[in-house]
Chains A and B, each alone.
Chain A
Amino acid sequence: MAMYIRVKRSKTTYFIQCDPTESILDIKQKLHALIDQPANDQRLILVGTGEELDDSKTLADQKVENDAVVALTLRKDDNEFEDVDIVKPDDFLSIS
């Protein structure tokens, strides 16, 4: 295994094994197997830079490195994508 990334949405984190030469579309297809949402309805954003990741480019092209955190957002019913929503455990503690 060359590397992995952490794909986060809400309170869930998916650890995805991948290779720097894989495209973002490849990653979305891997996610499709896990979340039942087609690649077309997924948007991935590199959390470090806030940059939206481009399907046709590779992980290496877009400086997505081992252990990187990537936000997943899904297409809503009105065809727009939802905002990035990653819940951090500290938020939870401060509420409770």
Chain B
Amino acid sequence: MRKEDTVKLISAEGFEFVIDKNAAMVSQTIRNMLTSPGSFAETQHGEVTFPEISTTILEKICQYFYWSLQFASGKETEFHIEPELTLELMMAANYLHT
């Protein structure tokens, strides 16, 4: 894995999650940021800040990205979501088109 193949997602509290670009692109919103011509300034540095997404939710989202890749490659496991996270997670998922 090369550094150029990763993106850093930064939460509201400034926590950083370094994930593979392929995983990040499970999100249509992030995919658009990473692939649109004349791309976003953030994505040229491989960093995207989400001032409205809390750390706990952003980590769950990253776990979901990887789960999604595993599921797509035929590994059928369940994705566990704590009930208290559901609402915030749905709002973030809506924003990220995930």
How many Å lie between the Cα of A92 and that of B56 in the bound state?
A: 12
Closest chain-B Cβ to A61's Cβ sits at a distance in Å of 21
Majority secondary structure, B binding face: mixed
What are 17 A-B interface contacts by the 8 Å CB criterion? A1-B66, A6-B59, A11-B14, A12-B17, A13-B17, A13-B18, A14-B18, A15-B17, A15-B62, A15-B66, A17-B1, A66-B70, A89-B11, A89-B13, A89-B15, A92-B13, A93-B13
Binding site for A on B (CB under 8 A): 1-3, 6, 11, 13-20, 23, 54-56, 59, 62-63, 66, 69-70, 73
**A92, closest chain B residue (CB):** B13
Task: Please determine whether A12 and B1 come into contact, CB atoms closer than 8 angstroms.
Answer: no
How many Å lie between the Cα of A13 and that of B69 in the bound state?
A: 19
